[in-house]
Amino acid sequence: MKKGVNRLSYCIRLSCVDELEALLELERAAGQRFADIPALAEMPDDITPIEELQEAHQAGRVWVAVASSDQPIGFAYASIVDGYCHQEELDVLPAFGQRGVGTALVQTVCAYAVAENCAGVTLTTFRAVPWNAPFYKRLGFEILESPSLTPGLAQAFADEARRGLPLHLRCVMRWQASAGQ
Protein backbone atom coordinates (compact mmCIF):
# COMPACT_ATOMS: atom_id res chain seq x y z
CA MET A 1 0.00 0.00 0.00
CA LYS A 2 1.21 3.50 -0.76
CA LYS A 3 2.55 5.41 2.19
CA GLY A 4 0.06 7.97 3.48
CA VAL A 5 -2.96 6.47 1.70
CA ASN A 6 -5.75 5.44 4.01
CA ARG A 7 -7.38 2.09 3.53
CA LEU A 8 -10.72 2.36 1.81
CA SER A 9 -13.57 -0.03 2.36
CA TYR A 10 -15.64 -0.41 -0.80
CA CYS A 11 -17.27 -3.04 -2.95
CA ILE A 12 -18.26 -3.27 -6.58
CA ARG A 13 -21.76 -4.26 -7.59
CA LEU A 14 -24.15 -3.85 -10.48
CA SER A 15 -25.95 -0.52 -10.64
CA CYS A 16 -29.43 0.16 -9.33
CA VAL A 17 -31.82 2.00 -11.64
CA ASP A 18 -32.51 4.70 -9.05
CA GLU A 19 -28.85 5.76 -8.90
CA LEU A 20 -28.21 6.29 -12.61
CA GLU A 21 -28.75 10.08 -12.44
CA ALA A 22 -26.32 10.26 -9.51
CA LEU A 23 -23.73 8.40 -11.59
CA LEU A 24 -23.90 11.17 -14.19
CA GLU A 25 -23.18 13.71 -11.46
CA LEU A 26 -20.28 11.53 -10.34
CA GLU A 27 -19.02 11.55 -13.95
CA ARG A 28 -19.25 15.34 -14.04
CA ALA A 29 -17.35 15.67 -10.74
CA ALA A 30 -14.62 13.26 -11.87
CA GLY A 31 -14.28 15.15 -15.16
CA GLN A 32 -13.33 18.33 -13.33
CA ARG A 33 -9.80 16.92 -13.03
CA PHE A 34 -9.29 17.62 -16.74
CA ALA A 35 -9.74 21.36 -16.14
CA ASP A 36 -6.25 21.42 -14.60
CA ILE A 37 -4.65 20.19 -17.84
CA PRO A 38 -4.09 23.20 -20.15
CA ALA A 39 -4.64 21.25 -23.39
CA LEU A 40 -7.95 19.92 -22.06
CA ALA A 41 -9.23 22.89 -20.07
CA GLU A 42 -11.56 23.94 -22.89
CA MET A 43 -12.81 20.42 -23.53
CA PRO A 44 -16.60 20.20 -23.78
CA ASP A 45 -18.59 18.85 -20.86
CA ASP A 46 -18.95 15.37 -22.40
CA ILE A 47 -21.35 13.61 -20.02
CA THR A 48 -22.93 10.28 -20.91
CA PRO A 49 -26.50 10.62 -22.16
CA ILE A 50 -28.84 9.08 -19.57
CA GLU A 51 -30.38 6.88 -22.28
CA GLU A 52 -27.02 5.21 -22.91
CA LEU A 53 -26.51 4.57 -19.21
CA GLN A 54 -30.05 3.17 -18.89
CA GLU A 55 -29.46 0.85 -21.84
CA ALA A 56 -26.19 -0.41 -20.35
CA HIS A 57 -27.90 -0.84 -16.96
CA GLN A 58 -30.66 -2.93 -18.51
CA ALA A 59 -28.01 -5.11 -20.17
CA GLY A 60 -26.21 -5.61 -16.83
CA ARG A 61 -23.14 -3.63 -17.91
CA VAL A 62 -22.96 -0.81 -15.33
CA TRP A 63 -20.80 -1.49 -12.29
CA VAL A 64 -20.67 0.78 -9.26
CA ALA A 65 -18.00 1.06 -6.59
CA VAL A 66 -19.71 1.93 -3.32
CA ALA A 67 -18.25 2.91 0.02
CA SER A 68 -19.49 1.39 3.25
CA SER A 69 -22.42 3.85 3.21
CA ASP A 70 -23.53 2.34 -0.16
CA GLN A 71 -22.83 5.73 -1.75
CA PRO A 72 -21.32 5.48 -5.27
CA ILE A 73 -17.70 6.60 -5.39
CA GLY A 74 -16.98 5.31 -8.89
CA PHE A 75 -18.52 3.47 -11.81
CA ALA A 76 -17.81 1.91 -15.17
CA TYR A 77 -20.12 0.97 -17.98
CA ALA A 78 -19.64 -0.94 -21.19
CA SER A 79 -21.21 -1.91 -24.48
CA ILE A 80 -20.37 -4.66 -26.94
CA VAL A 81 -18.47 -3.55 -30.06
CA ASP A 82 -17.27 -6.01 -32.69
CA GLY A 83 -17.00 -8.93 -30.26
CA TYR A 84 -15.24 -6.92 -27.56
CA CYS A 85 -16.57 -5.51 -24.34
CA HIS A 86 -16.06 -1.78 -24.95
CA GLN A 87 -15.58 0.21 -21.76
CA GLU A 88 -17.48 3.39 -22.49
CA GLU A 89 -16.74 5.19 -19.25
CA LEU A 90 -14.77 4.88 -16.02
CA ASP A 91 -15.02 7.49 -13.31
CA VAL A 92 -13.91 7.70 -9.70
CA LEU A 93 -14.59 10.66 -7.45
CA PRO A 94 -11.29 12.53 -7.00
CA ALA A 95 -11.45 12.18 -3.21
CA PHE A 96 -11.29 8.39 -3.66
CA GLY A 97 -8.63 8.32 -6.36
CA GLN A 98 -5.34 6.45 -6.12
CA ARG A 99 -6.84 3.81 -3.83
CA GLY A 100 -7.45 0.98 -6.29
CA VAL A 101 -11.09 1.78 -7.08
CA GLY A 102 -10.46 2.44 -10.78
CA THR A 103 -8.29 -0.67 -11.07
CA ALA A 104 -10.99 -2.79 -9.44
CA LEU A 105 -13.62 -1.41 -11.81
CA VAL A 106 -11.46 -2.14 -14.87
CA GLN A 107 -10.80 -5.65 -13.58
CA THR A 108 -14.56 -6.11 -13.19
CA VAL A 109 -15.11 -5.08 -16.81
CA CYS A 110 -12.35 -7.51 -17.89
CA ALA A 111 -13.91 -10.33 -15.84
CA TYR A 112 -17.27 -9.61 -17.47
CA ALA A 113 -15.63 -9.80 -20.91
CA VAL A 114 -14.16 -13.20 -20.08
CA ALA A 115 -17.45 -14.49 -18.63
CA GLU A 116 -19.32 -13.35 -21.74
CA ASN A 117 -16.75 -14.89 -24.10
CA CYS A 118 -15.75 -11.53 -25.54
CA ALA A 119 -12.37 -11.30 -27.24
CA GLY A 120 -11.30 -8.73 -24.65
CA VAL A 121 -11.93 -5.14 -23.64
CA THR A 122 -11.48 -2.00 -25.73
CA LEU A 123 -11.72 1.66 -24.77
CA THR A 124 -10.79 5.15 -25.89
CA THR A 125 -8.81 7.48 -23.66
CA PHE A 126 -6.29 10.30 -23.51
CA ARG A 127 -2.73 9.30 -24.43
CA ALA A 128 -0.76 11.43 -21.98
CA VAL A 129 -3.08 11.94 -18.98
CA PRO A 130 -1.55 9.88 -16.14
CA TRP A 131 -4.87 8.37 -15.05
CA ASN A 132 -5.75 7.47 -18.64
CA ALA A 133 -3.52 5.60 -21.15
CA PRO A 134 -0.55 5.13 -18.77
CA PHE A 135 -2.95 3.70 -16.15
CA TYR A 136 -4.47 1.26 -18.65
CA LYS A 137 -1.03 0.23 -19.93
CA ARG A 138 -0.13 -0.86 -16.39
CA LEU A 139 -3.26 -3.04 -16.45
CA GLY A 140 -2.21 -4.84 -19.65
CA PHE A 141 -3.92 -2.72 -22.31
CA GLU A 142 -2.11 -1.85 -25.53
CA ILE A 143 -2.60 1.10 -27.86
CA LEU A 144 -4.15 0.23 -31.22
CA GLU A 145 -3.14 2.21 -34.27
CA SER A 146 -5.76 3.24 -36.84
CA PRO A 147 -5.17 0.34 -39.29
CA SER A 148 -5.91 -2.13 -36.46
CA LEU A 149 -9.31 -0.67 -35.58
CA THR A 150 -12.42 -2.72 -36.24
CA PRO A 151 -15.28 -0.87 -37.98
CA GLY A 152 -17.10 -0.39 -34.67
CA LEU A 153 -14.02 0.99 -32.92
CA ALA A 154 -13.30 3.33 -35.83
CA GLN A 155 -16.90 4.57 -35.54
CA ALA A 156 -16.59 5.06 -31.76
CA PHE A 157 -13.41 7.07 -32.27
CA ALA A 158 -15.03 9.18 -35.00
CA ASP A 159 -18.03 9.83 -32.72
CA GLU A 160 -15.64 11.38 -30.20
CA ALA A 161 -14.56 13.96 -32.78
CA ARG A 162 -18.20 14.87 -33.41
CA ARG A 163 -18.61 15.41 -29.65
CA GLY A 164 -15.67 17.83 -29.67
CA LEU A 165 -12.96 15.65 -28.14
CA PRO A 166 -9.44 16.34 -29.46
CA LEU A 167 -8.61 13.12 -31.32
CA HIS A 168 -4.92 13.99 -31.68
CA LEU A 169 -4.69 13.60 -27.87
CA ARG A 170 -6.69 10.38 -27.73
CA CYS A 171 -6.08 6.73 -28.49
CA VAL A 172 -7.88 3.41 -28.69
CA MET A 173 -6.65 0.67 -26.36
CA ARG A 174 -7.31 -3.08 -26.12
CA TRP A 175 -6.91 -5.80 -23.53
CA GLN A 176 -6.95 -9.28 -25.04
CA ALA A 177 -8.84 -11.77 -22.92
CA SER A 178 -6.56 -14.65 -23.89
CA ALA A 179 -3.49 -12.66 -22.84
CA GLY A 180 -5.00 -11.48 -19.58
CA GLN A 181 -6.58 -14.68 -18.25
Inter-residue contact 72 to 65 (CB < 8 Å): yes
Instruction: List the one residue out of 67, 58, 61, 87 whose CA is nearest residue 26.
Output: 67
Q: What pTM, to 2 d.p., does this model score?
A: 0.91
CATH number at residue 39: 3.40.630.30
What pLDDT shows up at residue 179? 54
The reply to whether 89 falls in a domain is yes
Q: Is residue 97 part of a domain?
A: yes
Q: Is residue 2 part of a domain?
A: no
Q: Is residue 14 part of a domain?
A: yes
Dihedrals φ, ψ of 42, to 5°? -95, 10
Express each pLDDT in 117-168 by its tens digit: 999 999 999 998 988 999 999 999 999 988 889 999 999 989 998 888 888 9
Locate the DSSP E strands across the chain.
10-14, 62-67, 72-81, 84-92, 120-126, 142-144, 170-176
28 domain residue, yes or no:
yes
Residue type, 80: I
Q: Which residues, given as ranges, of the chain have pLDDT below 70? A: 1-7, 44, 179-181
Q: Kindly state whether residue 3 falls inside one of the protein's structural domains.
A: no
- Give the model's pLDDT for residue 96: 93
Which domain range does residue 52 map to? 10-180
139 domain residue, yes or no: yes
- Whether 63 maps to a domain, the answer reads yes
Q: What distance in Å separates the CA atoms of residue 97 and residue 154, rounded to the nearest whole number?
A: 30
Domain count, the chain: 1
Could you write out the DSSP letters of every residue in 70-116? S-EEEEEEEEEETTEEEEEEEEE-GGGTTSSHHHHHHHHHHHHHHHT
